[in-house]
């Protein structure tokens, strides 16, 4: 644990407690100096008990002060100071621009429902009750209160406030030097420094220090309202029970209706025994006092202990090239990197990513194979010409062996890790498969290229029903093998190796070993995850709901639990299909259904044209017919996505059909 930064609130409490102790010690000393020796002995004995009791009371009062929730109402926006024994963090009131309702999104470390009134210009009024500094107020969760405050300019402010509270998961508080996120959010990779505090659900301050960097990140996800981030700590630390490291990702989970997709994908990879699998845990994120929502804090895909544990070639390059940060960059013959003076090792370690043409153009290190596949070299960050030449030739040789059906490819390409990555991609039906975010690594002194770590699973488990993909990835009978045939830019190794006897045998063997994991996941595992994050998801959906509804929404359904059911539905249907396709005998995985009937309403420009009832968990195979010369086709009113016969009904739903223009 880092040594805590003692803030003003905690310091004043400690000083007061110490002053009281010294005062009592002086009083007791004066008493002891008078009276006979016999009386002194009795007095010391009784006095010792009194002092212990006094100290106990003072310590208890100190704890009460340290573990307090204080409403501050001096500024324009009321805020709450969450004071723990080792840290103090601020949570600002959030007000919805649409309906004017306001919310305090409190972290899980707040265990009391008592709020003490702190600094206020005049007084605070809650539901007509006038409260002054030092008074306490007990709130009830999800109840709306009328709050009236007066700021420094003696201007009154009124709010309709609801208190909401997280549970079970850690809270990460980040404050930037500027006091806002405008610059960081303005452009991808913009960064700022600040400070960070991580508080666990039990109130323990796990980590508190300066934060050298918080930056926006992501490709498609960066364009969403809820931004993903990367952070760099002052030093390596095992945050929230994860493995030690100084670089971390904060995944926004914007496209995940159930907020489970990435976590489940990482769990599958872990169960398969994939080395260097990324681990992650859910957290509540607060940025400059403002609640940002539920995020998945994850380890990074980078070289290092507790990450991709291979030889650190970047470290060697830095040791041998003093001015490496100013080394000249080169780009020629489908290769790019840096011109370094001193090069010792060239056979590893390398961490490379299969990338798109667009993303590749923005990278500093990489190569294009003779077949036209683009690979970014993520590590070393300053790859020399010799190192780029080596890994480019190595990957190109493997690619040519794959294209030519050479069985000797397995001497250079590790089969087990490739099959494991394929199973994660195939079961989850990963939409970016072999396009981007597909990593490989090669260690020094090792002749094989390994697949992994697996990464980026937001658009999985039937979550992405965009028109450009023609509904393929909500079809639980589709295959990533078929998908790799569609575009030349997709790395075709899965497609070409899938039918080889060695690949098939290993794939079925690993798949069969996975099935008990999925039995537990569908039976109790997902429910346990949902129970853990539900309070945070509830706050997140209040915060972001107005930006989700009616098109471009996060999730297929408006109700969170309907989205969870859908994730279960997709996994069950997918496993049943794969068992049949691969000839694996297993009892059919059941899809969730409560037997309830839901109403599906069909509307066009002129109004409602029909309704039908569908049972919970049933697919809508035959929607209402329409004149195709007049209308464009049914879309789901909530998600804005095109109708699919593979999407089940888990709530009352509306479908809309727009006219051709």
Task: Give strand ranges (E) for 300-412.
Answer: 329-332, 335-338, 350-355, 366-368, 374-379
Per-residue confidence (pLDDT) for residue 150, from 0 to 100: 83
Are 319 and 411 in the same domain? yes
Check whether residue 447 and residue 587 sit in a common domain.
no
Angstrom distance (rounded) from CA 28 to CA 52: 12
Q: Side by side, which strands form the sheet with 631-636?
A: 607-615, 597-604, 653-659, 631-636
- With respect to residue 517, please indicate whether it lies within any of the assigned structural domains: no
Cite the DSSP H helix spans in 98-244: 182-186
CA gap 602, 612 in Å, rounded: 9
Residues 416 and 317 both lie in one domain: yes
Last residue in a domain, options 136, 165, 194: 165
Residue at a domain's end among 165, 185, 217: 165
Q: What is the pLDDT of residue 253?
A: 95
Note the pLDDT of residue 484: 86
pLDDT score of 408 more than 70: yes
Confidence (pLDDT) at 158: 94
10 Å CB burial of residue 268 (0-12, 13-18, 19+) is buried
Region of poorest pLDDT, from 39-53, 226-240, 479-493: 39-53
The pLDDT assigned to 26 comes to 57
Q: What is the DSSP letter of 537?
A: H
Mean pLDDT, to the nearest integer, of 290-296?
Answer: 98
Look up residue 310 and give its two tokens. 């291979």
| SS3 assignment for 122-160 | CCEEECCEEECCCCEEECCCCCEEEEEEECCCCCEEEEE
User: Per-residue confidence at 179, pLDDT binned at 50, 70, 90?
Assistant: very high
Do 344 and 441 share a domain, yes or no?
yes
Rounded distance, CA 74 to CA 179, Å? 18
For 25, the domain range is 8-66
Residue corresponding to tokens 């000839």: 583
Q: 504 near 583, Cβ under 8 Å?
A: no
List phi, psi (to 5°) of 246. Answer: -105, -15
Residue pair 282/294 in contact by the 8 Å Cβ criterion: yes
**Which of the two residues, 112 and 30, has the higher pLDDT score?**
112
Q: Of 31-35, 393-397, 626-630, which range is least confident?
A: 31-35
* CA dist 337 → 91, 371, 380 (Å): 45, 20, 10
Q: Which of 307-311, 562-566, 628-632 has the lowest mean pLDDT?
A: 628-632
Tokens of 326: 């100013």
Query: What pLDDT was estimated at residue 122?
Result: 78
Q: Which is it for strands 366-368 and 374-379: parallel, antiparallel or unpaired? A: antiparallel
**Inside any domain, residue 197:** no
Length of the chain in residues, anyone?
661
Count other C-beta atoms under 10 Å from residue 637's C-beta: 17
This prediction's pTM? 0.90
Does 368 lie in the same domain as 321? yes
Judge contact between 321 and 339, C-beta under 8 A. Answer: no
- Residue 12: which pLDDT band, with cuts at 50, 70 and 90? very low
Report the domain count for the chain. 4
pLDDT score for 17: 45
Give CA–CA dist 536/167, Å, rounded: 7
Is the pLDDT confidence value at 126 over 60?
yes
Per DSSP, the three-state class of 39 is helix
What is the rounded distance in angstroms from the CA atom of residue 279 to the CA atom of residue 297? 9
Contact by Cβ (8 Å): 379, 303: yes
- What is the token pair recorded at 47? 């006095």
Rounded CA separation 261/103 (Å): 28
| For range 401-427, the mean pLDDT | 98
User: What is the sign, positive or negative, of the torsion defined by CA atoms of 454, 458, 459, 460?
Assistant: positive
Question: Of 442, 438, 455, which Cα lies nearest the Cα of 313?
Answer: 442
Question: What is the rounded CA–CA span in Å between residue 438 and residue 353?
Answer: 5
Please give the structure tokens belonging to residue 345: 């090792």
Q: 543: domain CATH number?
A: 2.60.40.4270
Nearest CA to 217 out of 231, 206, 228 is that of: 228
Region 444-450: mean pLDDT is: 98
Residues 650, 532 within the same domain: yes
Q: Mean of the per-residue pLDDT values for the chain?
A: 90
Angle of helix 560-581 relative to helix 501-520, nearest 10 degrees?
140
**Vertex 438: Cα angle to 347 and 264 (nearest 5):** 125
Instruction: Report the C-alpha gap between 74 and 155 in whole angstroms.
Output: 10
- Give φ, ψ of 360 to 5 degrees: -60, -40
Q: Which two tokens stand for residue 70?
A: 């204080």
Whose CA is closest to 301, among 234, 357, 230, 358?
A: 230
Give the range among 120-129, 232-241, 593-602 with minimum mean pLDDT: 120-129
Q: How far apart are CA 525 and CA 590, in angstroms?
A: 15
Predicted confidence band of residue 85 (pLDDT cuts 50, 70, 90): confident
Residue 125 located in a structural domain: yes
CA-CA distance, 592 to 616, in Å (whole number)?
8
Residues 360 and 413 in one domain: yes
Does the pLDDT at position 33 exceed 80? no
The pLDDT assigned to 548 comes to 47
Q: Looking at the domain assignment, is residue 260 inside a domain?
A: no
**Whole-number percent of the chain with pLDDT over 70:** 88
pLDDT digits (tens, 9 = 90+) for 610-645: 999 999 999 999 999 999 999 999 999 998 889 999
Q: Which two tokens stand for residue 550?
A: 């009616």
Better-predicted residue by pLDDT, 194 or 14: 194
Indicate the burial class of 73 (C-beta count within 10 angstroms; 0-12, 13-18, 19 or more): buried
Residue 79 lies in a domain: yes
Q: Are 396 and 321 contained in the same domain? A: yes
CB atoms within 10 A of CB 27: 11
Q: Is 268 left (phi over 0), alpha (psi -120 to 50) or beta?
A: alpha
Q: Is the pLDDT of residue 423 over 80?
A: yes
Sort 512 into a burial class: Cβ within 10 Å, 0-12 / 13-18 / 19+: middle
Give CA angle at 214 (531, 209), nearest 5°: 80
Residue listed under structure tokens 């930037």: 176
Give me the pLDDT at residue 16, please. Answer: 43
The position carrying tokens 């010799």 is: 386
Range in 330-339, 443-452, 538-547, 599-608 the model is least confident about: 538-547
Q: State percent of the chain over pLDDT 90.
A: 77
Q: Assess if residue 308 is contained within a domain.
A: no
Q: Confidence class of residue 103 from pLDDT cuts 50, 70 and 90?
A: very high
pLDDT score of 3 more than 90: no
User: What is the C-alpha separation between 377 and 353, in angstroms, rounded?
Assistant: 7
Name the token pair of 483.
Answer: 């998908």
If asked whether residues 357 and 498 sit together in one domain, one would say yes
Is residue 538 domain-shared with residue 479, that is, in the same domain?
Answer: no
**What is the rounded distance in angstroms from the CA atom of residue 43 to the CA atom of residue 46?**
5
177 is a domain residue: no
Beta bridge partners of 95: 102
60 and 73 belong to one structural domain: no
**Nearest-5° Cα angle at 531, 80 to 538:** 45
Residue with tokens 């926004």: 252
Residue 18 has pLDDT above 90, yes or no: no
Q: Which is more confident, 260 or 150?
A: 260
In a domain, 639, yes or no: yes
Q: Which one of 165, 189, 220 terminates a domain?
A: 165
Q: Provide the token pair at 486.
A: 């569609």
Q: What phi and psi, each to the nearest 5 degrees, are found at residue 27?
A: -60, -45
Pair 553, 610 in one domain = yes
* Two structure tokens written together for 64: 């009460």
């Amino acid at each position: 644990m880092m040594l805590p930064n003692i803030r003003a609130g905690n310091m004043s409490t400690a000083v007061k407690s110490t002053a009281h102790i010294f005062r009592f010690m002086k009083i007791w000393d004066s008493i002891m100096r008078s009276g006979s020796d016999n009386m002194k002995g009795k007095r010391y004995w009784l006095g010792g008990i009194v002092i212990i009791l006094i100290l106990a009371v003072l310590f208890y009062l100190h704890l009460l002060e340290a573990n307090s929730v204080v409403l501050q109402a001096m500024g324009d926006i009321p805020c709450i100071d969450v004071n723990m024994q080792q840290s103090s963090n601020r949570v600002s009131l959030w007000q919805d621009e649409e309906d004017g309702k306001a919310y305090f999104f409190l972290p899980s470390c707040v265990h009391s429902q008592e709020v003490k009134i702190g600094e206020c210009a005049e007084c605070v009024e809650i539901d007509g009750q006038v409260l002054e500094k030092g008074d306490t107020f007990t709130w009830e969760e999800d109840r709306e209160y009328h709050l009236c405050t007066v700021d420094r300019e003696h201007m009154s402010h009124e709010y309709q406030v609801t208190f909401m509270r997280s549970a079970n998961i850690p809270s990460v508080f980040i404050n930037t030097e500027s006091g806002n996120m405008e610059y960081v959010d303005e452009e991808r990779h913009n960064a700022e420094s600040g400070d960070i505090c991580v508080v666990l659900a039990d109130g323990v301050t796990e980590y508190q220090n300066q934060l050298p960097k918080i930056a926006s990140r992501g490709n498609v996800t960066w364009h969403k309202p809820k931004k993903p981030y990367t952070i760099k700590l002052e030093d390596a630390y095992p945050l929230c029970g994860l493995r030690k490291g100084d670089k971390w990702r904060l995944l926004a989970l914007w496209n995940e209706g159930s907020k489970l997709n990435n976590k489940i994908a990482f769990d599958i990879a872990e169960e398969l025994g994939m080395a260097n699998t990324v681990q992650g845990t859910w957290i509540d994120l607060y940025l400059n006092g403002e609640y940002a929502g539920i995020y998945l804090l994850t380890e990074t895909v980078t070289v290092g202990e507790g990450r991709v544990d291979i030889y650190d070639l970047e470290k060697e390059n830095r040791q041998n090239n003093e001015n490496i940060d100013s080394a000249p960059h080169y780009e020629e013959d489908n290769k790019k990197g840096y011109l370094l003076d001193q090069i010792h090792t060239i056979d590893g370690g390398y961490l490379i990513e299969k990338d798109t043409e667009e993303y590749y153009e923005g990278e500093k290190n990489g190569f294009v194979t003779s077949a036209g596949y683009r690979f970014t070299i993520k590590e070393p960050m300053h790859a020399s010409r010799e190192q780029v030449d080596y890994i480019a030739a190595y990957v190109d040789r493997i690619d040519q062996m794959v294209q030519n059906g050479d069985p000797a490819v397995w001497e250079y390409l590790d089969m087990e890790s490739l099959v494991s990555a394929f199973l994660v991609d195939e079961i989850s039906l990963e939409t970016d498969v072999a396009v981007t975010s597909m990593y490989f690594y090669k260690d020094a002194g090792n002749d094989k290229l390994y697949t992994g770590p697996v990464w980026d699973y937001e658009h999985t488990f039937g979550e992405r029903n965009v028109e450009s993909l023609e509904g393929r990835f909500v079809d639980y009978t589709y295959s990533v093998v078929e998908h790799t045939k569609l575009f030349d830019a997709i790395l075709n190794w899965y497609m070409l190796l899938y039918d080889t006897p060695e690949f098939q045998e290993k794939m079925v063997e690993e798949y069969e070993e996975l099935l008990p994991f999925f039995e537990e996941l569908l039976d109790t595992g997902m429910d346990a995850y949902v129970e853990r994050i539900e309070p945070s998801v509830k706050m997140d959906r209040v915060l972001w709901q107005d930006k989700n509804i009616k098109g471009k929404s996060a999730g297929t359904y408006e109700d969170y639990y309907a989205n969870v059911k859908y994730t279960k539905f997709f996994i069950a249907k997918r496993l049943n299909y794969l068992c049949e396709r691969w000839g694996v005998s297993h009892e059919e995985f059941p899809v969730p259904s409560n037997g309830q009937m839901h109403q599906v309403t069909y509307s066009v420009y002129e109004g409602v044209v029909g309704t039908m009832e569908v049972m919970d968990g049933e697919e809508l195979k035959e929607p209402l017919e329409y004149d195709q010369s007049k209308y464009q086709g049914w879309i789901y009113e909530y998600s804005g996505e095109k109708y699919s016969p593979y999407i089940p009904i888990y709530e009352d739903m509306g479908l809309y059909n727009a006219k051709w223009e």
